[in-house]
Amino acid sequence: MGAAKALALARVFGSSAALDSYLLAFLAPSFLADVFCGPLVPVLVPALVEFEYREGEAKPVDLYAHVLWRSLLLASVAAAILAAVAAVIATLDAGGRINLRLLGILTLLMTPILPLAAVANVWRAVLNSRRSFVIPALIVTLTPVVIILCILTAGTNYGVSVLAAGTSLASLAEVVVLGWGLRQAGFPILPRRRAADISIPEIGREYGYLATTTAMSAGTAFIGQAMAAALGAGSVSILNYGTRLAGVLMAIGPGALAITILPGFSSMVAARDWERMRQSLRRILSGSMAVAGVAGVLLIVFSTPIVRLTMQRGAFTSADTDAVASVQVCSLLQLPFILGTTILMRVLSALKANRVMLPFSGAALVVSTGLNYAWMARLGVAGIALAASSVQALVFTALAILVFRRGPRGFLRDCDANRAPSGWK
C-alpha cells in the first residue's frame, strides 16, 4: 500500500515544489513521533512479557495504564509546542525557494499525529506482547489507503493540503482500529491508573537510551532531506521516490521481523534461555540477510524498468525516471545491512541494553552528514542515498562484532543456563 501511495503521488504531483513542501512539513511531526513514540514498542514489549512471566496478569495492566497516560500527556505537550511554532511560520512570507507559509500550514495540519502515535504505539505494544500481530499489522495499511482516497477524491483541487489532512486522518483511523483490537483482546482502552504509582526507573532509562538513539537515527534522515532541498526544487521528491522501494521492502522484511522476534527473544531473556537465544539469533540473522541480499541484487539490476513501468505517467517525466532510478540503486544497497541491524537492535532491546546503541548512532550521524556533503556534490541526490547505505553497512558491521566477538567483552560470550550475556543487567 505504501508503494501504491507513491505511485498515486507520482502521477498527480510528480517531482514538484508543492510536494517538496509537504515532505518537508511532514519531517517535524514524523521526527518527533519516531523519537518520542516509536521507542514505546521495543521498550514496553519486553517489560510486559517479563512482568507477566514473573508476577501474573495484574502487573502488566498497571504498567500499561501508567505508560499510556504519561506518554499521551508528553505527546500532547509536544504537539502543542509544534503547533505554536507552525502557526508562527504560517504567518511568514510565501516567497523564496521554500514557501514558508505553506510549510507552516501543512505542519499545523499534521500536529495531531503526535498524540495519536503515542496512543497507537502503546496499544500496539500491548497486543504484540500477547503475540497478537494481525491487527497491528493490518492497520499499517490504513495510512496509505486514506491518503490515496484523499488524492483520488480531491485531486489537485486543494493541492498538497489534502495530503496533510489525510495523513492526520489516517493516524486517527489507525487508533480507532487498534482500540477495537485491544477490546477484543480483553484489555481496557483507557485503563484507570491506580493510586500507588508504578516505579519503573529501568523502563524509563531504556526508553531514554532508545529515544536518544532514535533521535540520532532520525536526524540522519532529517539532515539528508534538508541537504536534498538545497539541490533545487523537486530534489526532496526525487529522494523520496528513490528510497520508496527500499522503504517498502524494509517494512515487509526488517519491520515485520522486528515486531515478531521481539516477544520471542523477550521470553528467552525472562526464562534465561541464553543458548537457545544465541542459536536463534544466528539462524534468523544469516537466513534473513541472505534473502535480502539476493532480493537487493535483482532489484538493482531491474531498477530503471521498475521505475519506468510503475511511475512514468502523468506529471512524472522520463527525466524523473532516470533520476529516481539512480537514487533507488544506491538506496537498495542497504537492504541486507539494515535488516541485520534491526535484528541485532531488537536483541539488545530484549536484553534491556539499548544504551549500547548510543555511540553507534552518534557516530552514524556524524559520518552520514560528512558523506552526504562529499557525495551530493558529485552524484547529486543519489549521493545522499549512497551515504545512507554506506552508514548502514558500517553500523551493522560494528554491532555484529560487538555481539558475536569472543573474549571477555563479547556480548553473547560463553552463554549458558546460569550466566547472562556480558553487558546484560
Condensed to tens digits (0 to 9), the pLDDT of residues 402-414 reads 887 754 455 555 4
Packing angle of the helix pair 256-270, 40-55 (nearest 10 deg):
30
List the beta bridge partners of residue 419: 416
Among candidate residues 224, 201, 220, 198, the one with its CA nearest the CA of residue 35: 220
Q: Collapsing DSSP states into helix, strand and coil, what is residue 306?
A: helix
The string of DSSP codes covering 345-373 is HHHHHHTT-GGGHHHHHHHHHHHHHHHHH
- How far, in Å, CA of 251 to CA of 246, rounded? 9
Radius of gyration of the chain (CA): 22
Q: State the pLDDT at residue 410.
A: 52
Q: Which residue has the higher pLDDT, 129 or 14?
A: 129
Highest mean pLDDT among 241-245, 280-284, 346-350: 280-284
Q: What DSSP state is assigned to residue 120?
A: H
pTM score, two decimals?
Answer: 0.67
Q: How high is the pLDDT of residue 77?
A: 93
* Residue type for position 193: R
pLDDT for 198 beyond 60: no
pLDDT of residue 22: 83
Q: In angstroms, what CA-CA distances link 299 with 228, 295, 323?
A: 24, 6, 16
CA distance 2 to 247: 9
pLDDT digits (tens, 9 = 90+) for 38-70: 888 888 888 888 777 776 666 777 888 888 888
- What are the boundaries of each domain within the chain? 1-199, 203-425
108 has a pLDDT exceeding 70: yes
Q: Is 346 buried (19+), middle (13-18) or exposed (0-12) by CB count in 10 A?
A: buried
Alpha helices per DSSP H over 90-160? 100-109, 113-129, 134-138, 142-154
* Count helices and strands in the chain by DSSP H and E runs: 19, 0
Cell (9 digits) for 283: 539462524
Percent of the chain past pLDDT 90, that is, above it, reads 10
Q: What is the mean pLDDT of residues 270-289?
A: 84
